[in-house]
Amino acid sequence: DTGVSQNPRHKITKRGQNVTFRCDPISEHNRLYWYRQTLGQGPEFLTYFQNEAQLEKSRLLSDRFSAERPKGSFSTLEIQRTEQGDSAMYLCASSLGALGEQFFGPGTRLTVL
C-alpha cells in the first residue's frame, strides 16, 4: 500500500454512459498524475496537477476526458460518453515537487460494454 487510494477499483459501464473516478494522493504531495494503461503497454500520460492547477493535458486526450483537483487534495477524472476504446486501467500517482519518485495507486479498471 503506497498511501495513494483510488475508487472504485472496478467499473463496468455501457457505451455512452459517463463515469467518474476518484484519486486520493498522499496528503503532503503537491503533484498528482493520471495515466491510462492497456495490456502490454506502459502507462500513458493523461494529465497532471500541481496543487489545484492543471499544468498539462495530453494532446491525444479527447474532449470527453476532464479532470479536476479542487483545493489541491483529491482528484477526479471524468469520462463522458464512454466508448469501448476507453476500456483500460486508469492509474493515479502522486509525488512531491522535484523528486523523481511517483507513488501509484492500485488503479481503476474500466470496462465499457
Residues in the site for other proteins, rule: CB under 8 A? 2, 33, 35, 40-45, 48, 50, 55-56, 91, 93, 97-107
Rounded CA-CA distance 55/88 in Å is 23
Burial 84-110 (b: 16+ CB within 10 A, else e): eebbbebbbbbbeeeeeebbebebbeb
Tell me how far, at minimum, the Cβ of 95 lies from other proteins, in Å.
9
Q: Which is nearer to other proteins, 72 or 80 (CB)?
A: 72
Give least dist CB 37 to other proteins, A. 9
Give the shortest CB-93-to-other proteins separation in angstroms. Answer: 8
CB nearer other proteins, residue 25 or residue 43: 43
Which C-beta is closer to other proteins: that of 2 or that of 73? Answer: 2
DSSP annotation string for 44-72: EEEEEEETTEEEEE-TTS-TTEEEE-GGG
Q: How far is the CB of 113 from other proteins (least distance, A)?
A: 22
Residue nearer to other proteins on the CB measure, 75 or 102: 102
Q: Are strands 108-112 and 88-95 parallel, antiparallel or unpaired?
A: antiparallel
* Backbone φ, ψ for residue 71 (5° rounding): 65, 10
